[in-house]
A and B are shown apart, each in its own frame.
Chain A
Amino acid sequence: MTNLEKYNNAFIETFEITEDQLVGLKYQDIEAWDSVGHMGLVAALEDTFDIMMDTDDIIDFSSYEKGKEILSKEDYGVKF
């Protein structure tokens, strides 16, 4: 499974959505991506990529696209 597929699966499983909903998805666009869902997503991504996210990055993680940008940083080293 590629990193992009793993990343997508974290969203799909956490929010119980389909792949076609991912592009452009933002925090609080859907009911499941509330503050509780956000932390569930972070926990899922940490588990998937074996990383520990910084608090600032957790707060900045405001969309599907922004998340990819954050995880691509040197701190986490996830290549998409």
Chain B
Amino acid sequence: MIEYNKRNIRTWSLLGPSGAHGTAVMELAETNPDVLILTADLCFFSGLERFKTAYPDKLYNVGIAEQNMIGVAAGLAKEGFIPFANTYASFCASRCADQVRVNMAYMGLPIKLIGLTAGYGAGVLGATHVSIEDISLMRALPNITVISPADCTEIIKAILAAAETSDPTYIRLTGPMNMPIVYKEDYNFAIGKAVTIQKGYDVAIIATGSMVAQAQKAAKLLEADGVKCSVINMHTIKPIDSDAILEANENHKLLVTAEEHNVIGGLYGAVAEVLCKEGVHKPVLSIGINDFFAHAGSYSYQLDISELTAESMKKKILSAIN
């Protein structure tokens, strides 16, 4: 049984998203006999070092054959298993688009697809491994739940929660090793239910994935300028928590979306769709990757040139409200 204590939370943070993934599936293997794991040649990279030793009969490494992995996962799901398949997020979404569309979206098979190194997590490998469009592609497919956890603790909670549903689910993992900790202790996680991390009354920052921690830092910086921010962790992009968005619209002067994803089709789009149905709404500032491929480089470099740091967020918000 996983314990959400200070030491474990720090350990998961140090391990990073892949290590947290490995921790979560170890827990699943111990508690749910139907869970099987598939990977496309990323056994250790996806945090499965201990899993491979402990449960070799529950792990299938299909090699560098991501599309085939989805087909194998579909077959296992048809036989009653709960397959968790992982590869780079860029391969989950674009390379496997047809297999995901048919097997997960159309057939509704309960495959749980884990997108590793989403956003700039593998940016050092260049544009082929960067994933800035996966939310957009996945949320356009009917029936697929799309989750983007804020930190390593939430990654574990999201994976455990996904195993409890029969929905096809995509979980994108953003952030580096030694990932900032958003949740220092246990909390309630429910798919489709946003979490308000802090309350202000000027600006509501609706963030997802790694940008939640940046939003927290930006809110702290803005407080020094007299701007009070709410920070809302929108960990589930689909189905989106419309109530949380409408409440934020009601109680703030400016809404901000923050995502390690293209500004087109991601969280901003999802929030805007909810607001447009309401007619009149507050201005919405979109903070994300401004529709370009960054040069290969370190995670921090790519966040910096994409203006996704807390400092950049602060400047953009101040500019928008002044």
Interface residues of A (CB under 8 A from B): 31, 34-36, 39-40, 42-44, 46-47, 55, 58
- Bound CA–CA A9/B8 (angstroms): 17
Asked, given contacts A44-B7, A46-B10, whether A39 binds B15 with beta carbons under 8 Å apart, the answer is: yes
Cross-chain contact of A36 among B6, B10, B19, B177 (Cβ < 8 A): B19
Cross-chain contact of A35 among B19, B53, B178 (Cβ < 8 A): B19
- Bound CA–CA A46/B14 (angstroms): 11
Interface residues of B (CB under 8 A from A): 6-8, 10-11, 14-15, 19, 22-23, 47, 49-50, 53, 177-178
- Is the Cβ of A34 less than 8 Å from the Cβ of B50? yes
Q: Shortest Cβ distance from A54 into chain B, in angstroms?
A: 10
- Bound CA–CA A55/B16 (angstroms): 12
- Bound CA–CA A31/B178 (angstroms): 23
Asked, given contacts A34-B49, A36-B22, A36-B23, whether A47 binds B14 with beta carbons under 8 Å apart, the answer is: no
- Is the Cβ of B11 less than 8 Å from the Cβ of A39? yes
SS class of chain B's interface: helix, strand, loop or mixed? helix
- Bound CA–CA A41/B80 (angstroms): 38
- Bound CA–CA A16/B69 (angstroms): 37
Q: Shortest Cβ distance from A35 into chain B, in angstroms?
A: 6
Q: Shortest Cβ distance from B238 into chain A, in angstroms?
A: 32
In the bound complex, residues from chain A placing their C-beta under 8 Å from that of B11 are 36, 39-40, 42-43
Among A31, A35, A36, find the residue whose CB has the most chain B CB atoms closer than 10 A.
A36
In the bound complex, residues from chain B placing their C-beta under 8 Å from that of A43 are 7-8, 10-11, 14
Known: A34-B50, A35-B49, A36-B22; 16 extra A-B contacts, CB below 8 A, are A34-B49, A35-B15, A36-B11, A36-B15, A36-B23, A39-B11, A39-B15, A39-B19, A42-B11, A42-B14, A43-B8, A43-B11, A43-B14, A47-B6, A55-B177, A58-B14
In the bound complex, residues from chain B placing their C-beta under 8 Å from that of A31 are 53
- Bound CA–CA A44/B19 (angstroms): 17
- Is the Cβ of A47 less than 8 Å from the Cβ of B10? yes
Q: Shortest Cβ distance from A1 into chain B, in angstroms?
A: 17
Pick 30 A–B contacts, CB within 8 A, sort by A: A31-B53, A34-B49, A35-B15, A35-B19, A36-B11, A36-B15, A36-B19, A36-B22, A36-B23, A36-B47, A36-B49, A36-B50, A39-B11, A39-B14, A39-B15, A39-B19, A40-B7, A40-B11, A42-B11, A42-B14, A43-B7, A43-B8, A43-B10, A43-B11, A46-B10, A47-B6, A47-B7, A47-B10, A55-B178, A58-B14
